Every structure is written in C-alpha cells, then in structure tokens.
Structure 1
Amino acid sequence: MYQRILLPTDGSEASATAAEAAVTLADQFDAELHVIHVLEHDQTSTDTDGINTSAGNGEEAVQVAVELAVSSSVEATRRIIEKEKSIHQEILTYTAEHSIDCIVMGIRGRSELSLSQAVLGSVAELTLRESPVPVMTVHEETVIDPDIGSVLVPTDGSECAHTAVDHAEELARSVDAKLYIIYVVEIGQVLNGDRVRRLREALEEIGEKALDLALEKVQSSTYLPTETSLLTGPPYLEIVKYAEEHDVDCIVMGTHGRKGIRRFLLGSVTERVVRRADVPVISVK
C-alpha cells in the first residue's frame, strides 16, 4: 500500500515521535523511507568558527532518523533542502518528484493555539490541507504501536468521508486489521423537547444510512472484520473517546482542504482530532 514514505524533520520532540511512526510504518509495509530537512535561510546562524549551526541541527535531526531506520532494517535516504519556497511547498514538491505515497509529520499537541498561530497555521497543518497524498500526523504524546491491528474511520456520508473509508479499508486489509466505522450525531447546545427529539431521530436516521452505505462499500468484495457505531455529541471528542475506549491503533479521516481565514479560525473536526488523539491520524483529501 505504501511504497515510499516521506519524513520531514526539524529535530523537535514531535518530529522524534514522527520518526518513530515513519520507521514503524515503513517496516510494516517494507517501504522506502525518505528523510528530509528544509533549511530556512532566514534562520541560519554561525558559531565562532563560522560553521552554519542551523544546517548542522538539520543534519543531526536527519541522521538520528536515518539511524533509527537502519536499526529496524528500513531502507532510508536523506536530503537537506535549501529553502526556495515555503517549507510545506518544498515538502509537497519533494513528494511529487519522488512519487511519495504517504507523508509522516509531527504536529503540536493538545495545547491551544494563539490567534496568530491559527491564522498562519503550522507547516504540518498546511501540508495536510494541500497534500495530494495521505498525511500521518503525530504529536509528542502519541503512542506508536509496532503493528496496526485496528483502524478507526469516522464518516458523515460526504464524498470526502467516502474517500477516507476507502483508504481505511485498504489499510485494514493490508495489515489484517479490524475496521471501526462511526458516525457522530451533533445536535448542538439545545434543550430537551419534542422538536429536539424529532431532530435527533432524523439525524440518527441519516447517520444509520451513512453507516450502512459505508459497511456495504467495505464488504462489497471480501469479508473484513468491521464494527459500526452511531454516537451523539461533539464529533471530535466522541472520535477521540471512541478511539481510546476501543484501543484503536490508527485513525483515518478526510479533510476538505479548504482555504481561507474563516477555516483557520474555526478549525475542523479533523484538525482537533489530530491534536488530541493518542494514536497516529492519517488525513486523506
């Protein structure tokens, strides 16, 4: 399923977790691992001997990841990239030029973003929004399982969710994992009453149809162990909670890749799950 995996690294704690995840994924799929560091010219500095310390830090981060790969018998290549475009664009350019199947990146965890960070976004966020290939994100507290034995995919019945279900199914079949498909009904902050009851019933009916469609799609070829669930509550919280309660190893989610300040400020279910889940999250466009 994955033949060439890309790991962009900057030596941060989140990148160290990403290196572990990338090596584990490459080992499980017998894939090539590409490790890169994008060197920012405006952040370069030299020590008293005139040595470029920023480049040195990048080399060290790449070397640590490559050594981790070698220790797991994973074939790895390395490259330091001189920044000519934005960092995430350099990552996507490398992805296209080397036929990368999946990008693995570290991202900031549970801490809330400031307004400026929300507007600017992080390199990982920009990458997962625009990447044409799946992006696996992890943060400092992410738990990396040596083998993917269970996969969770939320659906809302949309075209984007169908793509995520397809990818989750392929992943589950590739590693002989169990597949969990969930639909979360969100009715917002409302009081109890007859209208609310009718609204809930209508939304639950939509959810059941979406789950039936996803299950039919998954089981259209050969049998795959699959469990479906209809939940109620804030979607991102229910997804994270379900993943914890069912001890899933990986979450697959769709992202629409929309741009604009409104989306940066409001965030999305996928982005919130990415920051809060204790397991790797694979975002597909």
Structure 2
Amino acid sequence: MKAICATDLSAASEATIENETCLECLGRIGVAEIHLVTVIPSNVHAGMPGIDFEERREQALARYKRVIENAGFDAEAHVVRGTPHRRINGIADTIGAGLTVVGSRGKSPLENRVIGSTARNLARTTVTPLLVNRIEREVDEPDVVREHLFQRMLYATDFSENADRAFAAFSYLRHATQEATLVHVETPTDPGLPEEDEDPKARLEELASQLEDWAIETRTAVRQGDPAAEILAAEAEYEPTTILLGSRGHSRLRRLLLGSVSEDIVARADGNVMLVPPDRMA
C-alpha cells in the first residue's frame, strides 16, 4: 500500500513522521511506500522577509526521508504549490494511495499550512481513507498523543453503506488491532432514513463476531443522543487509540451519525481519527 504523509515542516508534523511506533503501525497494516507531501500556499513566496523556504524545506524533507527509509519504507517527496487539501488529494489520486496521514496541529502561520484547518478540509474531501494523527497541543516539542495507532479501535456506525465501507478497513487494520468497541448512536427518527426491522444491538453483535474471528477482543454499545457528543463520550469512556468512521452517512438533511459529524469528531476528538470516504465509483 502507498500512503501520503502531509507535512508543513513544523515541529508538530515531525512528531508523526519521526515516531517509530507510528511508522511500525503503518507497516503492520501493509504500508510499504510513503510519499511526503508539502504544499506551499500560492500567496507565500520564497523571497518574503525572514523566510528561507528553500534551505529549510530541503533540510527537513531530507531528514524525514532518511527516517522513513531507515524504518524500512520506500520514500518519495513532493513539493507543490496551491491549496493544501486539493493538492494532497490530487497527489493521492495520481499515485493510487490507499491512505492519507495528516497531523491535527500546526503553528506555521506563514509556512505550509497543511496541518490544522487542512485536516478538517480533508475530512470533507478526502479521496482515500484519512488518518488524522493527533499531536500534543500548546507544547514547544510536541509528540503524538496516542502512538499505537490501531491497537484499540472505536468504530462508530449508522449502518449506512459508507459505514459498512469503513468497517471493511478492518481487513487490513486487524494486523495491528487488539481491541475494538463498536458503537451505534440512536437519534430521533429522521424521514430520510429507511425503517430498520433488526435491532441495532443484534447488528453490532454480528459485526463483532467477524472481528472476534480475527482474535480481536470486541465490545458493543448502543447509545442515545447527539451523535458527535455520544461518540466523543464513548472515546472518553473506552480510551481508544483511533476512532474509525465513514465520512458520509444516511442523511444529508440532519446531523446524524456521519457527515458533518465526522468533521466535528476530527476537530474535537482527543485521539486519532480515521475517516473512510464513500466509493467514488458508486
């Protein structure tokens, strides 16, 4: 599998790239080739006072590339100009990437603003599964918050087609997953949703049995209330390393489980978040 690793060359983006455990987790799920992508906004120029982009960029990318290659991956670097999330998606599409990784914190107001708001933009537009790697906030030398990326997963579902697609990611995540919590949030009836005859608890148990066949210790939970709030409450209760969900759900009319809720989770979760987009061919 090929993966995109987006970096703005900040200390926060270094935390993802230089964390040995994070790299090991990527290797365990089948990533063999990592493409570093740094995007220079169109309104930033190399000649701006106090900014030596060329030298800093070359030094940082060379260091990152060595770290990745020393960890056993093939590595390539891409330096492009434009809107970060659009260029990241474009490169991911061009190389046939199976995963995009981006940090969730950035402090580079004049540099490549890949990390921060771009994570939220990618949550809406990503063309590959997106892993938002949570970085410590408000510290001078930040580290990743939860380095065992896929060890304990919290999977949130509304039983939509895209949620099923997100669950299918366990086919490769299972090689790094030890525990999983499967959560469904019941909300007031939405006219855009089909009637379901099957009890959600039974549907979760059916999914759980598939994971247990892979020796993943699994629990299920049906919660009631606001989807984003309940998913975050489940994160606080179960302390997963990563929340897994689809980026779209049943309804475009309301804030149900998936859709705008996925953006809220990316912005507010304490740990990592993995979003799986719909099949573009569907």
If the length of structure 1 is used for normalisation, what is the TM-score?
0.71
Aligned mates of 1:153, 1:250 — CA distance in 2 = 9
**Cα pair distance change 1:131/1:47, threshold 3 Å:** closer
**Alpha-carbon shift at residue 162 of structure 1 (Å):** 1.8
The one-letter code matched in structure 2 to 1:10 is D
2:10 to 9, 12, 20: 12
The one-letter code matched in structure 1 to 2:34 is L
> Does 2:32 match 1:35?
no
Aligned mates of 2:177, 2:159 — CA distance in 1 = 25
Aligned mates of 1:208, 1:178 — CA distance in 2 = 25
Residue correspondence of structure 1 range 51-90 to structure 2 within 5 A: 53-81=52-80, 83=81, 85-90=82-87
Aligned mates of 1:149, 1:64 — CA distance in 2 = 28
Residue correspondence of structure 1 range 1-285 to structure 2 within 5 A: 3-19=1-17, 20=19, 23-29=23-29, 31-46=32-47, 53-81=52-80, 83=81, 85-108=82-105, 122-141=117-136, 142-146=144-148, 148-167=150-169, 169-186=170-187, 209-217=199-207, 219=209, 223-224=213-214, 225-256=217-248, 268-285=260-277
User: What do residues 46-99 of structure 1 show as CA deviations (whole Å, max 9, x unaligned)?
Assistant: 278xx9723334334433432432453433222222x2x532222112112211
Instruction: Tell me how many residue pairs correspond in the alignment.
Output: 246
SS of 2:34's partner is: strand
User: What do residues 153-182 of structure 1 show as CA deviations (whole Å, max 9, x unaligned)?
Assistant: 111122222222222x32442324222111
**Alpha-carbon shift at residue 41 of structure 1 (Å):** 3.9
The one-letter code matched in structure 1 to 2:209 is Q
The one-letter code matched in structure 2 to 1:8 is A
Quick check: 12-21 or 174-183, which moved more?
12-21
Identity %: 24
**Alpha-carbon shift at residue 214 of structure 1 (Å):** 4.2
Conserved? CA contact 2:36–2:75, under 8 Å: yes
User: Relative to total residues, which structure has the larger helix share, 1 or 2?
Assistant: 1
Conserved? CA contact 1:107–1:137, under 8 Å: yes
**Cα pair distance change 1:79/1:146, threshold 3 Å:** same
**Alpha-carbon shift at residue 284 of structure 1 (Å):** 0.6
- Whichever of the two has the greater Rg, that structure is 1
If the length of structure 2 is used for normalisation, what is the TM-score?
0.72
